[in-house]
Chains A and B, each alone.
Chain A
Amino acid sequence: MKGKCYIQAMAAISPQPTFEGDIFSAQLVHTDSNLLACIEPDYKPFIPGNSLRRMTRVLKMGLTAALKCSQESGITIPGPIITGTGKGSLQDTEKFIKEIAEYKETALNPTPFIQSTYNSVNGLIALQQKCTAYNNTFVHRGFSFENALLDSMMLLQEGATHTLTGAFEEITKEHFYIKSRIGFWKEAPTDNRELYRHLSPGSIAGEGATFFTLTGTPTPQSYAAISDFRMLYKPRGGKLAEALKSFTTSPDLIITGRNGDSNHEHYYQELDQCFPGIPQLPFKHLCGEYDTAGAFGLWLAAQIIKAQQIPATWFPGTEHLSAPVRTILFYNHFYGEQHVMLKLERV
């Protein structure tokens, strides 16, 4: 996808203290439970109490991140709202399914059913912001956020002045267990600070809600430009290296979705071979692995390119940038299937 768009504002709720305060002096939150859960903010300043009581965790996180992003952008009523989610509200889905069994398909509560639909967060944003413009949610596993981004970029090219684009995901105990049965997570308790040193099958679970206000033209407040974007599905036989080389030649920094999973580490090794000597920062020790973790990675990349600074405690050993960062290559994949490359430029 050619054609630039600009990140005007952004907000992230993640397992790290990203929602408020200065991330460049924030401490790294760590755990050895193989599950990085979000630090939830106080929702009351964002969501009326009467609405809040009905919402489950991911709805609150998604809506609040979207509202904070809108606030930061200065846009009171957003235009198009486009999001991506791999699983939507798992808590509501699980509750609804359990009640089907418990009450033998009778006397079913409507709320978990309504909220289990993937587009609930979008609907809530639109209702609260009184937005009647284009509204779409993409659900494509590891390409969910990326399709939302692609749609947003096309809307901007068609003349939309801005879009509210984001992703949200939650992990529940039940879902963590199911995915552990199919080898998604590491068997041994792994501290997220040591994630890349423990190359073994699986990664650590995560979750998050990240939103961006994207515009077609830059402003002095813009974080970064997204100048190129490519998705690859299950690349085989040198296709990835070929795509990476043709995508960009010499980025100043590479942000990767490396996650300590030995089953799919070879893709990141192909990346290393394509760009030897270029500094890399992995981000999955901060947010864990999930379908839309790429949105968090993009948020981090945009923070770094704007501030020309690395959150020091999050990256021990690479606390400082050795040279100005004008371009960043972002590369992530989801369990070897959905591969994403993004190019960020300094505005």
Chain B
Amino acid sequence: MEELKKKLKEQIIEALNLQDTKPEDIDDNAPLFGEGLGLDSIDSLELMVLLERQYHIKVEDPREGRKILQSVQSMAEFIQAKQPA
């Protein structure tokens, strides 16, 4: 799980071009939107694309997306749950 979160943070930084942000600057449980990283609605679409491209997971229900994209922790838990054991 720790390894997955580290990788996810690197992928988020690259996908969203978060200049001046390092993986260690992102708190696992900090909100990604509004406060915390201060991402916006376009970023949420980009994160959906990231999940699809990197983990082959398609989020069909936008209401579900809201919960999944709350934090790095919630994203990692979702990826882990969807990946075959």
Contact = CB atoms under 8 A, between A and B. Distances in A.
B46 A49 contact: no
A110 interface: yes
B84 interface: no
B19 A110 contact: no
A109 B54 CA distance: 13
Contacts of B52: 106-107
Nearest to A107: B52
Contact of B49 (A50, A53, A107): A107
B30 interface: no
A160 B17 CA distance: 40
A49 B19 CA distance: 8
B19 A53 contact: yes
B31 to A, nearest CB: 15
17 contacts: A49-B19, A52-B19, A53-B17, A53-B18, A53-B19, A54-B17, A54-B42, A103-B53, A106-B52, A107-B49, A107-B52, A109-B45, A110-B46, A110-B49, A111-B42, A111-B46, A114-B42
Nearest to B16: A53
A109 B17 CA distance: 13
B20 interface: yes
Nearest to A103: B53
A50 B42 CA distance: 12
Contacts of A107: 49, 52-53
A52 B49 CA distance: 20
Contacts of B53: 103, 107
Contacts of A103: 53
Nearest to A53: B17
A108 interface: yes
A193 B56 CA distance: 53
A109 B49 contact: yes
Contacts of A50: 38
B50 to A, nearest CB: 9
Contacts of A110: 42, 45-46, 49
Interface string B46-60: 100100110000000
Contacts of A108: 49
Interface residues of B, number: 12
A109 B46 contact: yes
A123 to B, nearest CB: 13
Given A53-B19, A54-B17, 8 more contacts: A49-B20, A54-B42, A103-B53, A107-B52, A108-B49, A109-B46, A109-B49, A110-B45
Interface in B4-57: 16-20, 38, 42, 45-46, 49, 52-53
Nearest to B44: A110
B4 to A, nearest CB: 20
Contacts of A54: 16-17, 42
B55 to A, nearest CB: 11
Contacts of B18: 53
A53 B12 CA distance: 13
A54 B49 CA distance: 15
B41 to A, nearest CB: 10
B8 to A, nearest CB: 17
B80 to A, nearest CB: 20
A111 B18 CA distance: 14
Interface in A95-118: 103, 106-111, 114
Contacts of A106: 52
A153 B16 CA distance: 40
Nearest to A55: B17
A49 B20 CA distance: 10
Contacts of A114: 42
A107 B46 CA distance: 9
B58 to A, nearest CB: 8
